[in-house]
Amino acid sequence: MKYFVIILCSISLFVSCKSSDDKIEDMLSEYVKKIVKNPNSVDIHKFQVYDKVYNSKAGIVGWDKSKNNTITGKSDYIIFLFSAKNSDGIEIFREVSVYFDKTKKTFKSSYPENIDIENGNLSGTCKYYFGNLLTNWQIQNYCNDANITIMNVDTLGGRKKHITTVQNGTYEVNKIIPGKYFFKLINYSINLENVYGNYGNKKNYFMLIEIKKIMDFYQIYCRELYGYSDKKLFDVTLKKLETFSGEGNETDFFDNDVTDIWKDFKKSVNHKFIDDFDIEYDYRYLNQFDNISIEPSTPTNHNIYIKNFFF
């Protein structure tokens, strides 16, 4: 009889936990179904409840994962992964945060705000400006014939790359899965070594600054997605660039200083990044790396205006 009671309690506990999970999945599913065009295709893959926690010693409010992954009075939001089929019949995955209302029975908002899964599109204008602060020489124009590459970094249905070119100062990419993307523009017709060499006394200093821009982008946005092949080498290389830029352009740098720094950068990062974005000698040409978000069902505008001042 004793063992029967223990087994019965265990079954009861299992059913209770299972029903709690089902309840949360149902809440999430109903929330998503009101938004997507194919509600019957919605599938909740995983979720995590987060509680608001007050740290009395520090006097601050923070958030922790719910230990039992259940909804309580402390629950503040849920991060979950779902998929559904868009109008083209393609299964799209999105990770979303949803925030509870006061009753804890429904959600008042989400991040991102628009969690639809329909394709979006991207367009914008591309311009550049160079100005020599000593000679007052300047030039500005559209980035015609520049190559643009975008690649998704948060969708789980497979990596997708889109490539286009700038024509008449504008570009456009259609039928893009919504989510976060890395954006690269490069114009091989504008050689920065020529620009800085013809109108500046310290060409290599400014070439090192161009490398630093790319490394800063990698450190801020790419490290979580791609990681490093040699983190120590990356840190040492970036530290050198920070020291060089702090010295100003009074220091003479040589061509081999620039090429050695660039080689070390390429050795230090994940080679998948090099392959994904066709990285060769990007610092030598007009370029721009960005982190952007593609909104579903609506046009996303991303204008590029590259301003380079030198002396």
| Other Cβ atoms closer than 10 A to 275 | 9
Reported as a single tens digit per residue, the pLDDT across 213-238 is: 999 999 999 999 999 999 999 999 99
The overall average pLDDT reported for the chain is 89
* Residue 287, pLDDT above cutoff 50: yes
pLDDT at 136: 84
Q: What is the pLDDT of residue 9?
A: 45
State the helix-helix crossing angle for 231-247 and 203-217, rounded to 10 degrees: 140
pLDDT at 54: 77
Would you mind telling me the total number of residues written for the chain in this entry? Answer: 311
Q: What does the alpha-carbon distance between residue 179 and residue 295 come to, in Å, rounded to a whole number?
A: 7
Instruction: Average the pLDDT over 92-113 and give the result.
Output: 93
pTM of the model: 0.83
Q: What is the mean pLDDT of residues 45-72?
A: 87
Residue 58: helix, strand or coil by DSSP?
coil
* Alpha carbons 38 and 29: distance in angstroms, whole number: 12
Nearest to 111 by CA among 95, 99, 97, 101: 97
> What integer pLDDT is reported at residue 4 of this predicted model?
44
Q: What is the dihedral of CA 218, 223, 228, 230, to 10 degrees?
A: 70
Query: 70-98 as b/e, with b when 16 or more CB fall inside 10 Å?
Result: ebeeebbbbebbbbbbbeeeeebbbbbbb
Q: Give the model's pLDDT for residue 77.
A: 97
Task: Give the model confidence (pLDDT) of 125-139 as tens digits.
Answer: 999 999 888 888 889
Phi then psi for residue 295, to 5 deg, are -80, 140
Residue 199's pLDDT is what? 58
Residue 34 pLDDT > 70: yes
- Give me the helix-helix angle, 203-217 and 192-199, nearest 10°: 140
Spell out where the chain has E strands: 43-55, 60-65, 75-85, 91-100, 107-111, 120-132, 138-142, 147-152, 161-165, 170-176, 179-191, 285-294, 299-301, 304-310
Phi and psi angles of residue 99, each rounded to the nearest 5 degrees, phi first: -110, 135
Per-residue pLDDT of 172-220, as tens digits, reads 999 999 989 999 999 999 999 999 887 566 889 999 999 999 999 999 9
